[in-house]
Amino acid sequence: MALVFILILAAFYSIGAGPIDISFSQAVSLVESKMGRSVDGTIFSPYTEETLWAVLWSIRLPRVLLALLVGSALALAGAGMQGLFRNPLADPSLIGVSAGAAMGAVGAIVLLGGTAAFQVPWMKEAAMPVFAFICGVGTTFCVYHISKVEGRTIVATMLLAGIAVNALASALIGSLLFLSDNSQLRDFTFWSLGSLSGASWKNLFPVALLVLPVLAVFPFFSRSLNAFLLGEADAYYLGVEVDRLKKWIVFLSAAIVGATVAVCGIISFVGLVVPHMVRAVVGPDHRFVIPASALLGAILLVGADMFARVFFAPVELPIGVVTAVFGAPFFIGLLYYTRQTIWA
């Protein structure tokens, strides 16, 4: 309940914070004004009601909602990967989804950048996230099938296959960047640093359609993941359908991470750090780790996005830089102080 309360406070504060501040009373007045009531939506603001409403409805609200979805998706996928691999260093990038999505994005930028269709604004906006999502999930599909031996999925082989496929994807990305011009290189660089600046109702709905059902379904795997921590053989004898569990965890994680990476770029450390933070407080029980990770991931990404656009205003820092700058030192400290007990 404490995380839910903090999440609501963070969301409301983030909606109002920015170069144009909108207080809670202003936001309520703006909503009432749009509902037809004779209420002054400006309340001593130097901006017009139309300007404040455009900022609130078209920019802030979809951006905060996207941050909530992306943060919860990355943290949830991280918790699932760490439980599946029984490895506290696992995160969604191990199954190739991030590298595959980056390969799709740079392919769309470099290979389609000169085509006539790509010059149409709506096709240019749609092509990169679509290519990123397809390549991210497709790369995970390849990793999963490489790891199948006689109909069984070997987790250790999946880990090694993920490392190899990530290396191959990185080589292909480097080759495409070598062929790119300065404009294309700059586009990919900004995308790869991660940002929520492109948030809109149009790209929020596809992410919500993928992420929300997975958020609802994932807690049902909690008991199976708890059994899986004992080992595959023990989990099997406890009645867990091991191969089905692996398939569901891998492809649900790939779907939600692929959707978030396609829209926002690569946002690092959320899927790695958040499950550690949760386990340090509630222990390894996935009945608590999974929902708490989703809530804490949403809180942290909302906070990181607010820092990225407020601290250096009017310049906006890429959110991937913020999560890395704060996530890496925090993760090192967390490992140092909990290295003996984090899986106890």
Q: What local confidence, expressed as pLDDT, does residue 242 receive?
A: 87
293 three-class SS: helix
CATH class for the region spanning 65-338: mainly alpha
**pLDDT digit string, tens, across residues 254-284:** 999 999 998 898 898 899 889 988 988 888 8
Query: Looking at this protein, which amino acid is placed at residue 19?
Result: P
Q: Tokens 């990355």 map to which residue? A: 74
Q: How far apart are CA 197 and CA 193, in angstroms?
A: 12
Q: Which long-range contacts (CB under 8 A, 24 or more apart) does 26-34 make?
A: 26/52, 27/56, 30/56
229 three-class SS: coil
**pLDDT digit string, tens, across residues 113-123:** 655 445 555 55
> Which of 261, 242, 221 is closest to 98 using CA atoms?
261
* Contact predicate 286/221, CB 8 Å: yes
Phi, psi torsion values for 164, nearest 5 degrees: -65, -45
Highest mean pLDDT among 17-21, 36-40, 58-62, 87-91: 58-62
Highest mean pLDDT among 81-85, 152-156, 289-293: 289-293
Question: In the beta sheet, which residues pair with residue 148?
Answer: 153
**pLDDT digit string, tens, across residues 148-167:** 877 788 888 888 888 899 99
Q: What is the DSSP letter of 149?
A: E
Highest mean pLDDT among 167-171, 176-180, 334-338: 167-171
Q: What local confidence, expressed as pLDDT, does residue 70 receive?
A: 95
Q: Tokens 């984090």 map to which residue? A: 342
> Which of 48, 72, 325, 317 is closest to 195 using CA atoms?
317
Count of CB atoms situated within 10 Å of the CB of 160: 14
Q: What local confidence, expressed as pLDDT, does residue 340 receive?
A: 54
Phi, psi torsion values for 115, nearest 5 degrees: -80, 155
Lowest mean pLDDT among 5-9, 110-114, 154-158: 110-114
Domain boundaries, the chain: 65-338
Q: What local confidence, expressed as pLDDT, does residue 214 receive?
A: 94
Lowest mean pLDDT among 12-26, 27-41, 47-61, 120-134: 27-41
Q: What local confidence, expressed as pLDDT, does residue 36 receive?
A: 63
Q: Considering the entire predicted model, what is its pTM? A: 0.89
Burial class (CB in 10 A: 0-12, 13-18, 19+), 158: buried
